[in-house]
Structure 1
Amino acid sequence: MAIEQNNNPENNTPTSSSSGGAGNNPNDNQKRRRRNKPRRDGKGSNAKANNPTTAKAGKGKSHGTNKSSKNEQALATQADNAAIDNDHNQIIDSAADDAAAKEGGIKAVGNQRIIPFMKIEKPMAILSLFMVIASIIAIAVNGLNLGLDFTGGVSADVRYEQPAEQIEVVQALADNGFDDAVVQYLGTRQELLVRLPPQSDNIDGLSASLTQALALPNNAADISNVNIIGSQVGNEVYLNSVMALVLALVCMLGYVALRFQFKLSLGAVMSLFHDAVVTIGVFALFGFPFDLTVLAAILALIGYSLNDTIVVYDRIRENFRRVRGISPSQTVDLSLTETLRRTIMTISTVLLVVLAMMFLGGDGLYWFSVALFIGLLAGTYSSTYIASSIPLRMGLSRDDFVVKVKPEFEEEIVTFNDPKMFEQD
């Protein structure tokens, strides 16, 4: 019978010693603390208890098991202390982030780090105000060096037998008394457009004088058309240009107001006005020639700056609806941070093209490129601060972008005042 009991598989279940086999007692399992992380190298785990060889060998080594249990308890205590310290550090870091967020510092929203653009909002607002006032004073005091498109003058279409250089033509006209001439190519280097300040009204004598002045060595010139533009036409062009700028700003105001919100539309228009005034003010301050090509550059600048502003506004609206628990200023900072990479890439590529036109495009595109270069710098700055800070000052909040759904109908409460309606016959 003893042999049968030893061969019984139910009795072959390994048991631990009196000191180390307490793991089979349910009460001991409740007292045992649950660990968040596994013990290093499996020490103190159930591997020894589940291994028959180890269990049998451990029956005669109760003293060594007690030492192992003490080491395991010490390791468990150290791990628990480390977990508590980690949680405490996380609480401290979270509190520090919240405090920094309230002060306008850097705060993480998920994995996104916010750059505090609005932290220097007031100094940038003062700088913008100074630039606008200085530009207006320069325009009022110095005035614009208006080109022939606005003041009137003489324009002539000239064709040479051989390709001619613009510098040679301008120098030949200056040698014959025709100063301040503007020469542009018309498709090829043999056909040119020559524009001069107001001259005499005698077209025949003027045509003969120009033919003689435009003659280059071994390269005869043929004038096909001579036009005299009066000052009245130039004033009309000037007024139409001002009206075009005003109309463009009004249209942008209406578009942004319908597409986003009125507070944002006012910020966008103020940003566009800033860009146009600063660019014109620089031309007035340094006396650069202002003609129709420069006006075209300013109109193109308004379109570019509005596009950059719309990208920022779209992200602001999205973050106001998506992100909770941060202030409006931090929402704007988050939006500007998320669009910063796109802004840098866009302005870099556009500036490369503008610089190429400035240095390689010739005299016809030079001032056009200069106006674009000045306006691009002002537009990037204004899209970041002016277009975003003005709506914040007007009280921009999440309520401006959340759609409030109105009930389609209201439930009516019907009261029966006639008790006879419920009487049964």
Structure 2
Amino acid sequence: MATENNNAPNNTPTPSGSGDGSGNNSNNTNDNNQRRRRNKPRRDGKGSNSKTNHSGNAKSNKNKSRRNSSHSVDKSSKALSTQADDVNQEIDSAADEAAAKEGGIKAIGNQRIIPFMKLEKPMAILSLLMVIGSIIAIAVNGLNLGLDFTGGVSADVRYEQPVEQGEVVQALADNGFDDAIVQYLGTREELLVRLPPQSDNVDGLNSSLETALTLADNTVEISNVNIIGSQVGNEVYLNSVMALALALVCMLGYVALRFQFKLSLGAVMSLFHDAIVTIGVFALFGFPFDLTVLAAILALIGYSLNDTIVVYDRIRENFRRVRGITPRQTIDLSLTETLRRTIMTISTVLLVVLAMMFLGGDGLYWFSVALFIGLLAGTYSSTYIASSIPLRMGLSRDDFVVKVKPEFEEEIVTFNDPKMFEQD
């Protein structure tokens, strides 16, 4: 019973009319309210949300007032540099527009760049030695000029049955016609025979050629016997040199108009390198140099320029699109990106040239040899000579981005006409 009486006041509520019970209830409710307030989330842990909000607003207002005051001071200090900033923004916007036309700013990322330009100096020394050696070989040994340049005799020959070129050459050598050149004219029965300069007597030459070309069980018919003089050969030689020089000048003008003058000098120097090295090899080893070899050199100039133009186009594109790298790295990136295309192109062309060299006969042999030498030199020159010379001349991004000139301020002119202020 004693236990129940002690616990009863705590479990049962007291009447509201008693003074002690009301005081206990009010204290309990205040404690509960305080506890409930404390259970609410607080931002700073030191007071209620309302207090923190008021203090935070006051601080933010102070910060804003400070910023406004400092901003007004900065406006007066930066007023002089706004014009220069506007010009720079116009230039950057023009550069961004040019980059957008090229496909947007290009990110290199983790792409592996082959440092081609690390070997720039050794390759330049090698190229210089090759050019000097070729010039010395041409000056000392000279070219073994063919009949197209020195003059001679050419004749069209037709047999009843197919013949071999070596058999015809051997028959001419047995009858005193040495250093003869025999080529097929479409079929194995029709041939073109070229001989060194002979006597000017055409009738005696026809009879002696018919006797020399007659084979066992195979009759021959000779037509169109032409005697080419030395003067005509010299004119052909001079015209060939002029054609070669004119081709280089035209290439210089094309690249200068299409790309940039610094690139045009690199392209022409690489083309000159290819032509002079090929001619130097023919002079060094005494290979015969005729119109077919000259045609191969002219074709080589066109091929080498095509390869160089592909590299130049990628260099121009990367200068406009890529940011934050040096010109040397830009050229390395361009050469790396075009390396696969260069390998595929040179490999397919070399297959055709080798097929002509070993299967095309004597008529296409020296033409194929000249192309083979020139293709190797052209691939090397497009990578190093055509790219390193513009880099040495200071090629940069400014050569390919159009700069926007600041607009001139127009002068405001006022006309004070007294009739304008007259009232009707």
Q: Which category of TM-score, normalised to the shorter sequence, fits these structures?
A: 0.7 to 0.9
Deviation at 1:258, TM superposition (A): 0.1
1:244 is aligned to 243
- Residue identity in the other structure for 1:224: S
Q: Closer, same or farther in 2 for the Cα pair 1:276/1:229, shift >3 Å?
A: same
2:324 is aligned to 325
1:152 is aligned to 151
Determine the C-alpha separation between the residues in 2 that align with 1:135 and 1:357: 26
1:412 is aligned to 410
Q: Closer, same or farther in 2 for the Cα pair 1:423/1:218, shift >3 Å?
A: closer
SS in structure 1 of the partner of residue 237 of structure 2: helix
SS in structure 2 of the partner of residue 177 of structure 1: coil
List per-residue Cα deviations over 1:181-226 (Å, max 9, x = no partner): 0001111111111000001111111111100100111111111121
1:396 is aligned to 395
SS in structure 2 of the partner of residue 156 of structure 1: strand
2:261 is aligned to 262
List per-residue Cα deviations over 1:319-367 (Å, max 9, x = no partner): 0010111111110000000000000000000000000000000000000
Larger radius of gyration: 2
Deviation at 1:410, TM superposition (A): 3.2
2:384 is aligned to 385
- Residue identity in the other structure for 1:412: E
In the TM superposition, structure 1's runs of 4+ consecutive aligned residues that sit over 3 Å from their partners are 24-28, 415-418, 420-425
Determine the C-alpha separation between the residues in 1 that align with 2:298 and 2:213: 34
Determine the C-alpha separation between the residues in 1 that align with 2:133 and 2:237: 22
SS in structure 1 of the partner of residue 225 of structure 2: strand
Structure 2 residue runs of 5 or longer lacking an equivalent are 1-38, 46-106
Structure 1 residue runs of 5 or longer lacking an equivalent are 1-23, 31-107
SS in structure 2 of the partner of residue 158 of structure 1: strand
SS in structure 1 of the partner of residue 364 of structure 2: helix
How does the TM-score come out when normalised to structure 2? 0.73
Deviation at 1:415, TM superposition (A): 7.0
Q: Closer, same or farther in 2 for the Cα pair 1:406/1:183, shift >3 Å?
A: same
1:135 is aligned to 134
- Aligned ranges 1:96-245 → 2 under 5 Å: 109-245=108-244
- Residue identity in the other structure for 1:230: G
- Aligned ranges 1:301-312 → 2 under 5 Å: 301-312=300-311
- Residue identity in the other structure for 2:389: I
Determine the C-alpha separation between the residues in 2 that align with 1:132 and 1:362: 31
Determine the C-alpha separation between the residues in 2 that align with 1:25 and 1:373: 89
- Residue identity in the other structure for 2:148: D
List per-residue Cα deviations over 1:379-415 (Å, max 9, x = no partner): 00000000000001111011100012346x6332437
Deviation at 1:25, TM superposition (A): 8.8
Determine the C-alpha separation between the residues in 1 that align with 2:40 and 2:335: 62
- Residue identity in the other structure for 2:215: L
Determine the C-alpha separation between the residues in 2 that align with 1:251 and 1:289: 28
SS in structure 2 of the partner of residue 324 of structure 1: coil
Deviation at 1:309, TM superposition (A): 0.1
SS in structure 2 of the partner of residue 280 of structure 1: helix
List per-residue Cα deviations over 1:139-195 (Å, max 9, x = no partner): 000000000000000001111010111010001101111000000111111111100
Determine the C-alpha separation between the residues in 2 that align with 1:416 and 1:353: 77
Aligned pair 1:273/2:279, yes or no? no
Higher relative contact order (CA 8 A, sep 6+): 2
List per-residue Cα deviations over 1:239-267 (Å, max 9, x = no partner): 00000000000000000000000000000
Q: Closer, same or farther in 2 for the Cα pair 1:195/1:414, shift >3 Å?
A: same
Determine the C-alpha separation between the residues in 1 that align with 2:41 and 2:284: 91
Among all aligned residue pairs of Structure 1 and Structure 2, give the percentage whose two residues are the same amino acid: 87
Aligned pair 1:359/2:370, yes or no? no
List per-residue Cα deviations over 1:34-76 (Å, max 9, x = no partner): xxxxxxxxxxxxxxxxxxxxxxxxxxxxxxxxxxxxxxxxxxx
Determine the C-alpha separation between the residues in 1 that align with 2:348 and 2:182: 30
List per-residue Cα deviations over 1:292-327 (Å, max 9, x = no partner): 000000000000000000000000000001011111
- Residue identity in the other structure for 2:342: T
- Residue identity in the other structure for 1:289: P
- Residue identity in the other structure for 2:318: N
Determine the C-alpha separation between the residues in 1 that align with 2:144 and 2:277: 16
SS in structure 1 of the partner of residue 226 of structure 2: strand
Deviation at 1:113, TM superposition (A): 1.4
- Residue identity in the other structure for 1:141: V
- Residue identity in the other structure for 1:115: I
Deviation at 1:109, TM superposition (A): 2.3
- Residue identity in the other structure for 1:213: A
- Residue identity in the other structure for 1:363: D
How does the TM-score come out when normalised to structure 1? 0.72
Deviation at 1:290, TM superposition (A): 0.3
Determine the C-alpha separation between the residues in 2 that align with 1:378 and 1:247: 21
Deviation at 1:26, TM superposition (A): 5.9
Q: Closer, same or farther in 2 for the Cα pair 1:203/1:265, shift >3 Å?
A: same
2:31 is aligned to none
List per-residue Cα deviations over 1:262-304 (Å, max 9, x = no partner): 0000000000000000000000000000000000000000000
